[in-house]
A and B are shown apart, each in its own frame.
Chain A
Amino acid sequence: MIKYIGKRILMLVPVLLGVVLLVFSMMYFSPGNAEDYILGDMATEEDKEAFREEHGLNEPFVIQYINYVKDALRGDLGISYTTKQPVAEEIFKRFPTTFKLALLSTLWSIVIGITIGIISAVRQYSILDNVTRLIAMLGVSIPTFWEGLMLIILFSVQLALLPASGFTTWKHWILPSFTIGTHSAATVMRMMRSSMLEAIRQDYITTAKSKGQTNFVVVTKHALRNAIIPVMTLVGVNFGKLLGGSAITEIVFSIPGLGNLIIDGIKVKNAPLVQGGILVIALAMALCNLLIDVLYAYVDPRIRSQYVKPKVKLAQKSATTEEEK
């Protein structure tokens, strides 16, 4: 297991290097210079030269890239051009907001998606099942930013129940998290339904039923436990995506999250901020996926048995990986 986790973490390194390279070259080769955006039209040629010198922009591409990676390893993601603050600090100021939004949205998606998914599977082909399936499909098809705007019109403008933007009280969080939550709820619901349909056709369900167990217990205890595993994975993957993918919803509701920060940075060509932001998002998503896989093995004994070996062997293995490092 430890070896597996170690291997997975090692495999992350080239991917993250690649992500940095991708974003780095995009920013580097794009027309328009950062100094023109940041210093404005009034700046003299000397000012621009000084700016380039200060931020190491006169170095060749490869040197700049290597310097960036070296600094990033020490946790230094550069200085934001606009605020003159360390990028790492800026990002971690915004990260909790995005994290909280992702968490709340995931809660919505779990509550809505799993309940409806189970009911839909147990009553397969009923009217309820058909209607919820269509609604779920609609849920995947709605652009989240449009759903957000419609919810603002309905709940903030027409009914005046909830605030349209900001993030100070709990009321502010309801609309944005619901907007994103319904979108992932649709995917969760579809997965829950198909996974549940598979589970309730298994032999152990027949056994449980023939023991005289009530339908409710059979579904919640026997079937759900087995059906929930793929759904858990999906919920985790969705959560990872939300850490980076809710940028537009953040804009719609004016939430100062990570996505909003990055898009602002992209508009003024604030390269260090954009590179750092995308790097952190890629890292967060990758760690999230890793966590799911580990959790997966932890929850499902069938998978766990593939990794867990007798204790002596495991100790040896981890010792060798230590040496390799």
Chain B
Amino acid sequence: MGKDKKETSAIRGKKKSQFRNIMRRFMKNQTAVFGLVVIVVLLIFALFPAQLSNPDYTIQDLANRYAGPSAQHFLGTDELGRDMYTRIVWGCRTSLAIGLASVGIACAIGVTLGTLAGYFGGILDNVLMRIVDVLMAVPNLLLGISIVAALGNSISVLIFAIALGNIAAFARVTRSSVITVRDTEYVEAARATGASDGRIMWKYVLPNALAPIIVQVTTSLAGNILNISGLSFVGLGVPAPTPEWGSMLSNARSIMRDYPLQIVFPGIAIMLTVFAFNLFGDGLRDALDPRLKN
């Protein structure tokens, strides 16, 4: 019993130092750290939009429509005289919430499918991967557009539509990662001790197959935020009063010849967010890659 405890603590200790190693490598990468800082700032905006801007994003100042940047309105006002800065800050919450929720759902389903396919192989693998092929065969954005058009404009439909397009990527990444782990000696050892398939997958295979999945989360998040704004831009995204960057662009499109600034700011917000997640994901990929260890 005592020996057992010692062993687990030794393993725990090693785990920690590996985590520290990854952190150290990540922190050396300046662009990745920049990405992380931007993400943290965005998260703060998303969590406290009311404190950091105006608590009500629907206030209309009809006398001040299309105003340029001023002390009262940092980024000017839109076609209804609503403060652009406030709407961009609240839009950050919309984008991040939908992005995170859809990635969460896609990750849960995709990782489950990928693990089952990779671990068991055979017919199950074949069937699951053909389903994934079908999802891969339709461009994400078209898939999203047709789902939202079919089921109606609402945030939950939007989350589902975006998530569906991501499942395939998660399943593929997980499957190939699981396959490399599946035949290792520690998995064999676990099987020899009588661990069930479920336990082996959950306790031994998945933790060791995790690195590429984590990277996929960040890239999917970046892609999803782009797709959400794309869907909103076509008028099939977030329903009207909720502020969203893509729908702000869509509203401003008709008047962009006269008020180009209306187009500039929401676009920069989208770009900066996606850019930060991409930088972060890239840094994470490098930090997690064992080949690049020193």
Contact = CB atoms under 8 A, between A and B. Distances in A.
Given A30-B150, A134-B31, A269-B149, A141 B142 contact: no
B138 A266 contact: no
Given A26-B146, A281-B139, A14 B130 contact: yes
B154 to A, nearest CB: 12
A285 B137 contact: yes
B229 to A, nearest CB: 6
Interface stretch (A16-24, A52-60, A200-208): A16-24
B62 interface: no
A231 B12 CA distance: 42
A282 interface: yes
A140 B282 CA distance: 12
Interface stretch (A119-127, A145-153, A317-325): A145-153
Contact of B256 (A26, A30, A149, A266): A149
Contacts of A15: 130, 133-134, 137
B89 interface: no
Interface stretch (A170-178, A214-222, A240-248, A292-300): A240-248
A104 B16 CA distance: 51
Interface string B138-161: 111110011101111000000000
B55 interface: no
Interface string B269-294: 01100110011001000000000000
Q: Dominant SS at the A interface?
A: helix
Given A150-B267, A274-B146, A245 B133 contact: no
A262 interface: yes
Interface in B135-187: 135, 137-142, 145-147, 149-152
A30 B157 CA distance: 12
A189 interface: no
Nearest to B35: A137
Contacts of A245: 139-142
Interface string A3-43: 00000000000111011011100110111000000000000
Given A18-B130, A143-B229, A262 B275 contact: no
B253 A149 contact: yes
A50 interface: no
Contacts of B138: 19, 22-23, 244, 278, 281-282
Contact of B233 (A27, A137, A145): A145
B52 interface: no
B184 to A, nearest CB: 27
B131 interface: yes
Nearest to B233: A145
A137 B278 contact: yes
Contacts of B229: 143, 146
Interface of B: 31, 130-131, 133-135, 137-142, 145-147, 149-152, 222, 226, 229-230, 233-234, 246, 249, 253, 256-257, 260, 263-264, 267, 270-271, 274-275, 278-279, 282
Interface of A: 14-16, 18-19, 21-23, 26-27, 29-31, 134, 137-138, 140-143, 145-146, 149-150, 152-153, 157, 241, 244-245, 247-248, 251, 259, 262-263, 266-267, 269, 274, 278, 281-282, 285-286
22 contacts: A18-B137, A19-B134, A21-B134, A26-B146, A27-B146, A141-B226, A141-B271, A141-B275, A141-B278, A142-B271, A143-B271, A146-B229, A149-B249, A149-B263, A241-B139, A244-B138, A247-B139, A247-B142, A248-B233, A262-B142, A282-B137, A285-B139
